Amino acid sequence: MSRSVTFVSALAVAASLAASPAYAQAERTIYASVLDKSGAPVPALTARDFIVREDGAPREVLRASRAAEPLQIAVLVDTSQAIDPYVSDLRTGLRAFFDEMAGRHEIALIGFGERPTVLTDYTHDRTRLEQGIGRLFPRRGTGAYVLDALVEASRVLRARDGARSVIVVITAEGPEFSNRYHEAVLDEVGTNATLHSFVLSRRGASRLDDAAQQRELTLAKGSRDTGGRREHLLTSMALGDRLRNLAIELQNQYKVEYARPASLIPPETVEVDVKRPGLTVRAPRVPATVRTSS
């Protein structure tokens, strides 16, 4: 057999493999925050700056741009008795967040003292969100239902089917009355939303019971795996700055598009990083949050 025939045959085999399902490439999209040492968003990054790995295997980054898709944000707020000392600062913090985000992004405000209650349904309207803040009061003699609220909010966001869904939880370290395990809650949250949590902590707080431990595990693991932030605040006066920083971060995220083999078996982990040293990257670490490019 001549060398030319062998070469043509090799090309034919390569083309056949590339066309087969096992070698076909699919595009995926993931949203990432890139922050400097002060916590400020880093602008003007390109596809060449990003690194994406699935189960440790590098993927080709095709495009990276500032995310333009509107956000759908469920803000879940503790309205149990435990939030009573913090209500004034909580309202101030929510106003700071809504001032930054309202107008273009849809936001819902949901309380979770006793059963989860919608204070303001999804809206762009800043006035309606302010009315929701006006309905925010601690319920005397009640505990929190953080995990129930997370499940309900996740299901609503999934039904709305937005490109960028976010859940923000603000809670105190009071009793938790949801009867749920963190694994089941994370199965709901991790499928479609990024979780950010802010816990108002008290020095010398009593040891957490089983339900409160499930809440802490959910907020810790959920924030980490979905690419969110989790913060314990020793003073509620810091809440306004933290929520304002979160709003700025969300509005400066990157949309990172990359190629991966069109395999029927999804990866177990996704890692997003940047080549520049000293920067922090927040992005989903579990494949359920990786969306197919439209």
Does 224 reside within a domain? yes
CA-based radius of gyration for the chain: 22
Q: Give me the domain span that covers residue 280.
A: 28-61+254-292
β-pair type (280-282, 25-35): antiparallel
Q: Are residues 199 and 271 in the same domain?
A: no
Does 185 reside within a domain? yes
Q: Are residues 55 and 136 in the same domain?
A: no
Q: Do 270 and 285 form a contact (C-beta atoms < 8 A)? A: yes
pLDDT in tens, the chain (294 residues): 454 444 445 445 444 544 555 457 889 999 999 999 999 999 999 999 999 999 999 999 999 999 999 999 999 999 999 999 999 999 999 999 999 997 889 999 999 998 899 999 999 999 999 999 999 999 988 999 999 999 999 999 999 988 899 999 999 988 999 999 999 999 888 767 999 999 998 765 556 789 999 999 999 999 999 999 999 999 999 999 999 999 999 999 999 999 988 876 888 899 999 999 999 999 999 865 443 333
Strand, helix or coil for residue 10: helix
Q: Are residues 40 and 142 in the same domain?
A: no
Does 190 reside within a domain? yes
CATH number of the structural domain spanning residue 134 = 3.40.50.410
Number of domains composing the chain: 2
Does 9 reside within a domain? no
Distances (CA, A) of 152 to 124, 147, 148: 21, 9, 6
Distances (CA, A) of 96 to 58, 100, 199, 238, 244: 39, 7, 17, 12, 6
Per-residue pLDDT of 121-163, as tens digits, reads: 999 999 999 999 999 999 988 999 999 999 999 999 999 988 8
CA nearest 48: which of 276, 287, 260, 259? 276
Q: Are residues 44 and 170 in the same domain?
A: no
Per-residue pLDDT of 103-119, as tens digits, reads: 889 999 999 998 899 99
